Amino acid sequence: MMSWCQLGFQDAGSYFMEEFIYFHDFTMMIILGVLSYVVVFLVLGLVSGWVDSGFVEGQLIEFMWTIFPALILIQIAFPSLLLLYLIEDFSKSFLVCKVIGHQWYWSYEIKTESAEILASVDCYMLPREGAFGMRLLLTDEFLMLPINVPVRILVTSDDVIHSWTLPSLGIKGDAVPGRLNQLNVTLSRKAMFYGQCSEICGANHSFMPVMLMGVTSPQFFMWLDRL
């Protein structure tokens, strides 16, 4: 969950989000290095007025400033493509969670890979009086998922377009009527994660919070029995 004046990402709650943060930091280091290099030579050129004909017209320097940016782009492309491949890999999921967007609440169905429904729950936002200072974030019920278990999430809508988003887990799926979008997530720690609908879906768009709790497998099965 975000804190006041926070500038960085939220603490990662999934393995994918951890990799996203690592990739962001890696890319930012490259960008800062390139920016520093350009600024230093720009300042030297403006201040000294010194020009070397070998530097301006040399074929070696032209070859270098063509090859180095290409190598930098390749260095960024490989981890980026790896992450894109991993988030689309649904071959190892052990649990299926179907998310259905309504005006204006979320419904969840927990299924096995054989499409057997284990439980279902509807989540409505709590009014201001019962939100305990966390306005627009708390719901009367919430989704529970086991940690360290690959989960395939199916996102759809019953009426208009919504967007099921959890920044701490690095997932965002558009809920489109008549269409199923797939997400892949593996929780890395026990915690409560908060999100909101990220697609303007009508008058009460602001009142569709998402609450997801990461729990151990025994706690997850106890929750299923309660439902």
Q: 17-27 pLDDT, tens per residue?
A: 999 999 999 99
Report yes or no on 8 lying in a domain: no
How many distinct structural domains can be found in the chain? 2
Q: Do 120 and 75 share a structural domain?
A: no
* Domain CATH number, residue 142: 2.60.40.420
Q: Are strands 117-123 and 143-146 parallel, antiparallel or unpaired?
A: unpaired
d(CA 95, CA 115): 10
d(CA 192, CA 165): 14
Report yes or no on 3 lying in a domain: no
Q: pLDDT category, 176, cuts 50, 70, 90?
A: very high
Q: Is 139 helix (H, G, I), strand (E, B) or coil?
A: strand
Q: Do 174 and 113 share a structural domain?
A: yes
Q: Kindly tell me if the per-residue pLDDT of 201 is higher than 90.
A: no
Query: What values do phi and psi take at 224, rounded to 5?
Result: -60, -40
Q: Do 210 and 194 share a structural domain?
A: yes
The mean pLDDT value for 174-179 works out to 92
- CB–CB of 137/126 below 8 Å? no
The Cβ of residue 48 has, within 10 Å, a number of other Cβ atoms equal to 8
Q: Kindly tell me if the per-residue pLDDT of 215 is higher than 90.
A: yes
Looking at the DSSP assignment, which residues form a beta bridge with residue 185? Answer: 151
Q: Kindly tell me if the per-residue pLDDT of 99 is higher than 80.
A: yes
The mean pLDDT value for 107-117 works out to 84
Query: Taking the model in full, what pTM does it have?
Result: 0.82
Residue 21: domain span: 15-47+57-88
Report yes or no on 218 lying in a domain: yes
Q: Which comes out higher in pLDDT, residue 121 or 117?
A: 121
Q: Do 103 and 157 share a structural domain?
A: yes
Q: Do 119 and 212 share a structural domain?
A: yes
Q: What is the mean pLDDT of the chain?
A: 87
Gyration radius from the chain CA atoms: 24
The Cβ of residue 29 has, within 10 Å, a number of other Cβ atoms equal to 10
Q: Kindly tell me if the per-residue pLDDT of 5 is higher than 80.
A: no
The four Cα atoms 108, 150, 6, 194 give a dihedral, to 10 degrees, of 10
Give tens-digit pLDDT for 25-77: 999 999 999 999 889 888 887 887 666 666 666 777 778 888 999 999 999 99
How big is the CA angle at 95 (ends 89 and 97), to the nearest 5 degrees? 95
The contacts of residue 12 (CB under 8 Å, 6+ apart) are 18, 20, 21, 168, 169, 170, 188
- Give the pLDDT score at 226: 83
CA distances from 132 to 136, 139, 212 (A): 11, 11, 18
